[in-house]
Amino acid sequence: MSSVDIVWRSGDDVLGNPLWDEFVGAAGSIFQDSGFLLTWWRDTAAKNPSSEFLAATFTDGGEAIGVCAFELNGGTLFFSGGQDVVDYMGPAAVDGREAAVADAVVRLVFDELRWERVHLAGLPAGEPLTQALIDAFRQRAPQAVVEVYDQAPRILSAPEGYLGLLNSKRRGEVLRKRKRLVEEIGPVEVATSTPDTWCSALEQLLAWKASATPAMRDFVTEYGDFVRNLVKELAPKNAAHVVELRTQDRALASAIVLTHRRTKYLYNMSYDMSTVNGSHNGLAPGVVLVSHLVEDTLEQGFIFDFLKGAQDYKVRLGGVPEDIVALSFTR
């Protein structure tokens, strides 16, 4: 019998406990941070009042080895976080204790929680914890289906520098785009938001995004307030910034960058379409901004995570796609 103890409860009050963030700060991702989860849950609960938030901690000998949060909605059990706004979901575990945490998660799901269907998404395929969860769930539910539904490109390191990481064709493309932008627009710089500037910078980003396509307009309508509240929650902890590519007097492109442990996440981005449409030289301010973000991040010794969506520009900028999988089954 497993020696791992499970403590779980319904409601988000566990996220007010500093022990949650202390653990996530050492072993989790930004998407398990209480500030992120609380912002997501407030938005979700307002839109789906019948949903229920569940949170669990797993300990062995009194020492925390894992945490996990769920949403129960209409009889279906999910890891906390909607796929539209949360990239990585599921538990966090201490290195080397993935199998024990996976076993505890499965015991909790099957022995304690009431559900009709389980759909557990947001699991990076290459992580040891993901494989441990798949193995543990299949022991209790051999009918479980595991499917890839997206990819998330990442760059783990660049020992020879960012540009040295790229092949000659991609390196030349990045340098040409940077040069072309400066030739037509003038000198540019990357500026990171401060407590006084993030709000206006974020509103500009959302306005650009809403004007890009009907789908993006719908996204901003549905999730704009969530994004505003998220940056407002995380910015004081230095975990969220709006980073802009600017000329002397205006922004050309901007991105929301989330930071947790040794990873920087490209959470959302947009750019001034009028700059692109008004040029005959194929300007790409968004790509130029992201290339600088990646370069600066890797120089700091951080991982750069492009997050979900293996768009071509992410791969051209050096991202190595990793499959994101979901695990589904019914009673």
DSSP secondary structure, 280-300, as one string: SS---HHHHHHHHHHHHHHHT
- Counting DSSP H helices and E strands in the chain, the numbers are 11, 13
Give bridge partners of residue 5 from the DSSP assignment.
59
Domains of the chain in start order, with CATH, are 5-151+324-330 (3.40.630), 158-300 (3.40.630.30)
C-beta atoms surrounding 95 within 10 Å:
10
C-beta atoms surrounding 149 within 10 Å:
12
Q: What's the burial of 15, exposed, middle or buried (CB within 10 Å: 0-12/13-18/19+)?
A: buried
The pLDDT of residue 199: 95
What DSSP character marks residue 33?
S
Which tokens in the block code for residue 184?
Answer: 């037509």
The pLDDT of residue 257: 98
pLDDT tens, N- to C-terminus, the chain (331 residues): 478 999 999 988 888 788 899 999 999 999 999 999 999 999 999 999 999 999 999 999 999 999 999 999 999 999 999 888 999 999 999 999 999 999 999 999 999 999 999 999 999 999 999 999 999 999 999 999 999 999 999 999 999 999 999 999 999 999 999 999 999 999 999 999 998 899 999 999 999 999 999 999 999 999 999 999 999 999 999 999 999 999 999 999 999 999 999 999 999 999 999 888 777 677 999 999 999 999 999 999 999 999 999 899 999 999 999 999 999 999 8
> Three-class SS of residue 245?
strand
The pLDDT of residue 280: 64
State how far the Cα of 262 lies from the Cα of 275, in Å rounded to an integer.
34
The pLDDT of residue 1: 47
Report the amino acid identity of residue 256: I
The pLDDT of residue 91: 97
Which tokens in the block code for residue 19?
Answer: 């022990």
What DSSP character marks residue 13?
G
| Distance, CA of 242 to chain centre | 15
Q: Which residues neighbour 1 within 8 Å (Cβ) at sequence distance 6 or greater?
A: none
What DSSP character marks residue 16?
G
Q: Which residues neighbour 178 within 8 Å (Cβ) at sequence distance 6 or greater?
A: 288, 291
Which tokens in the block code for residue 234?
Answer: 């995380």
**In residues, how long is the chain?**
331
Radius of gyration of the chain (CA): 21
Classify residue 119 as left (phi > 0), alpha (psi -120 to 50) or beta. Answer: beta
Handedness of CA 73, 209, 176, 283 (dihedral sign): positive
Which tokens in the block code for residue 112?
Answer: 């304690």
- The percent helix, strand, coil of the chain (3-state, each to 5) is 45, 30, 25
The pLDDT of residue 277: 78
The pLDDT of residue 17: 83
Do residues 244 and 201 lie in contact, with contact meaning Cβ atoms separated by under 8 Å?
yes
The pLDDT of residue 114: 94
| Distance, CA of 189 to chain centre | 25
pTM: 0.94
